[in-house]
Structure 1
Amino acid sequence: MELPRGMKDFEKQENANIEHVRSHFKQLSNLYGFSFMDPSPIELLSVLETKSGPAIKDEIYYFKDKGDREIALRFDFTVGLTRYATSQKSMKLPAKLSSFGGVFRYDEPQKGRYRYFHQWDIEVYGKPNLESEAEIIEITSRLFDSLLLKDITIDINHRKLVESFINKTFDSVDSQLVGDMLRAVDKIQKKSKQEIIDEFKDRYNEKKLQQILEFSEIKGTIVEVEKLFDTITLDSDSWNSLKALFDSLENRGVSNIRINFGIVRGLDYYSGMVFEVFDKNSSLGALAGGGRYDELTKAFGREDIGATGVAGGVERIILTMQEQNVIAESTQQRIAVMYINDEMQKVAISIASLLRLNNIPADIDLAGRNLKKQMESAREAKLAIIVGPHELEEGNVLLRDMEDGKEGTISLEKLTEDPKSILN
């Protein structure tokens, strides 16, 4: 029996890593005042098409249900959260929502992403303003800090700035042209410049296309970019918006940011600031990405609110943690309760139940195996309590450190009165 292509089972360690990221994300989500929710895993196909158009069918799982309705599995959280937020007419604004869970995409499986994978997501809905954008970027930076990841950079850009440069270069305001050039720029991280030129040169002036691609390679701080490029020629509103965003982030203590004119995000609904997160020393690609997407709330019928948000790929982040040799810290110390013989089993079970009642993770052999086999099964435990007849006669049990092998005794009376004393 095999799984469908692109699917996998998530075993113990993988689940532990996912829960590690989830724990850090939920803690930050709460610190920053985001309301955690889980939007429906199934949407009407028409709702998903609102975000990405009919072509999205090629990238998602969709089917007809028993009521002959066209439905689809969620491929991200932005659609569900935006559907929810735009439908809540009385919701207090700005509304801050967050989610974490599994999503489905019918993409070609790749390293760090199967067709079912996990995402974290945060969104702010309300009147568009710079501080909402800054807060989204700030919490994103803090999440990677809390996971102890190093050499993380957040590349920021503004879609309207790039669009205005394209229009100026081609001396045109053709929407088809702008869309094609944005797609060309979006490919710069995955393909060589020549490959992109070859793909588009039959439709567009090669020299002007070259100018767009050279522009997309500019990156650095505000000061560095202004030395590399005459920013006076750029759309002033967009450039000033980026400068103000950098000022806000500096005020918030976020320093791992830079301008990157090659970041445009491929989806058409982005309407302003966009950003992506990278490990500078990894080839995995973007670990998270987001920006302002007021066009999506409008598509859902709400002209009065805007939105900005970010989503990150959990499995890809875990791969980055492994590359950087960042080990997920253990949040629990497990205790293995063992027994010398069958007569001691009842007392051992009672002790295990006592520990669990006091929220101490405890394991005990259920198969009646000998002590040697119990020891072999307890490799993940920090400590072992061993119930033996000699110690039990004296009202004690043996306490063994499973890491260094040191042993001592603890009285049953003390264990009963203060179960957590064994962890001290």
Structure 2
Amino acid sequence: MSNTSALLNSQFRIYFIASCFATLAVWMIRFLLAWLIWQQTTSFFWVGVASTSLLLPSLIITPIFGVISDRINLRRGMIYWLACQATVTLLAIGLLRFSPLSLALLLTLTFAFGAIAAAGSPLRLALIPRLVSPDELSNAVGLGAMVFNSSRIVAPAIAAGCLTFMSPSGVLVLAGLAFLTAALLNLLLDEHASPAGRTASSRPANGWQEFTAGVRFSWSDPAIRLLCTLTLINSQVARSLMELLPALSGLFTAGTATDLATLTAFAGAGSILGGWYMSTLGRDTRRLVRVLIGAMFFTALAIVPLLFRLSIWPMSVFIGLISLLMTLLGTGSQILLQRQTVDGMRGRVLSLWITLAIAGAALGALIMGAIAEFLGFPVMLSLMLLLSLLSTAWLSRRGSLIYDRALPADPLTTTLQPQP
């Protein structure tokens, strides 16, 4: 295990506890809204529309807040973001209690929560390196992945349990209190947890110039371009497969709710284990790159058994393994991106990475789902296997771009100073 635990750092420990509250609240609300829409419509289509409404704002809002996160005090930004989450939750409580429940209302709330969640992602990712030392970064990012993936399992269980003895408004009250607790905890962070300031002469005239500068910076840097491409490939393979679990369950198992729940549980457990393993890695960049190469190669191997009809338990094991490897690839790429990027560019680079991951997963599920529909699941799985093997060979040849590489100069700033 890594010799340096980020939890020994008092600043990160505060942030970590706050993140646990906030992430649980986000997933409780996501589950609740999906459940309410199902209760209102009993339609898979509208549940899918709700899922899209949660993710779609990320394609626009996340890059915008990537620019903003490179300008503002990140501690204050996180507090304002959490306060906005709590405010919208309070409004949702009032609407659910005093307005007639309708599909339009639920979809509007879903879109609103998705938009606010999209704004927080670049703030959260850009803040982590400000709280920890370089030696603690891998552990910090791995712990963050563990919180995110465990919340996907724990939060719906909490919300479902609460719905047995309280109303949906009661669940929202709990989520709102969790957001407020997270905001209060972030008040304990040091005021200097902010990005490097820029002088008026070095700052571009508008946000669009800063955004395009971030795109040019990411594209012109070979290591960042490699990691973003790897994220897109991972989205087409492992993440797409996770999105298609309901279809996989229906085609290769009995297709019952229990079978799908079993596959989902194993996938969640694999993600948690993957986050834990990444939290144990130290600062060795070569080791991290080797983990990415190994994860892509073993993803290909884990897909092979799925080409044959397996019973639910063996299939669940391989789905869990693929989910674990997917987390290694995603978390490892984020760690390396954090190391490759200067503070003045970090928010924009990471927001582009998040957008690629989300858009790639959505597009990958669409493409791979169409291939499975018209050419068959074996063809889809074979294509995923081929992509994984080609990516393994490509990353093995190009991984040296990341080895022992010095940080590039920030193209938008020449002097770094604390920002008030």
Q: Tell me the TM-score range normalised by the shorter chain.
A: under 0.3
With normalisation by structure 2, the TM-score equals 0.27
Determine which structure has the larger strand proportion and give its number: 1
With normalisation by structure 1, the TM-score equals 0.27
